[in-house]
Copies of this chain bind each other. A is one copy, B any other.
Amino acid sequence: MCTFYKNNDKFLVAVDCIIFGFHKGELTLLLIKRDFNPCLGEWSLMGGFLNQSESINQAAERVLAELTGLDSIYMDQIGVFGDINRDPADRVLSVAYYALINMDEFDKRLLAKHNATWFSIDKMPPLIFDHEHMVKEALRQLRRKASVEPIGFNLLPEKFTLPHLQALYEAIYGSELDKRNFRKKVQSIHFLEKSEEKDKNTSRRGAFLYTFNMASYERLKEEGFTFAL
């Protein structure tokens, strides 16, 4: 192996996941109540250490799968957190990622096993280390990116209604949207496909179900279309 870098310090590197969901009109976040040290009994993000055998992205996917049982999930790196004493137990760098998952699909037994619970983003308990800072940053980046790329759909089931979609964007932005203006914008988004089916869970009348057609979004993007909601 290489000799050039022999004299440089080496570091523990962790990966922490901000796992977002969407439930009953609220943006939610998956946290674990630690049944291990350090900070036993406190709330934190799900994390894990990077191994030599994997890339950082792979580590993030592994950590997410350990807790939820899910793979092929939309994830984005937020950044590295590297203050000297961010973890008082030892010097650890942490790479934070956020993940967007459909809350109908995670593995409930794994969640129980890890002592994990969903929290509404505005009813979070205090978190260890700099995890609250990570969450804040994740939210900022999610808000920005969701406004300009169709990533919000990862938080919804495959079929969703327009009231459902609007509630999602209201939760992400933390502000109310005008129904008619919202739907007008949606009309101009040609990769949302209306089906004949209705969802009757939230009203007697029922609302039409739509699907997001990724392939046709990619095609439109090539042609210079830019998403905005």
A residues at B contact (CB < 8 Å): 1-2, 4-5, 8-13, 36-38, 49-57, 59, 77, 79-80, 82-84, 89-93, 95
Contact = CB atoms under 8 A, between A and B. Distances in A.
A62 to B, nearest CB: 13
20 contacts: A1-B90, A2-B38, A4-B36, A4-B37, A4-B38, A4-B89, A5-B92, A8-B12, A8-B49, A8-B50, A9-B52, A10-B11, A11-B12, A11-B52, A52-B91, A54-B84, A57-B83, A77-B80, A79-B80, A82-B95
A81 to B, nearest CB: 8
Contacts of A80: 56, 77, 79-80, 95
Please state the number of chain copies in the assembly: 2
B57 A9 contact: no
Contacts of A49: 5, 8-9
Contacts of A36: 4
A93 B56 contact: yes
A89 B4 CA distance: 8
Contacts of A59: 82
A170 B90 CA distance: 46
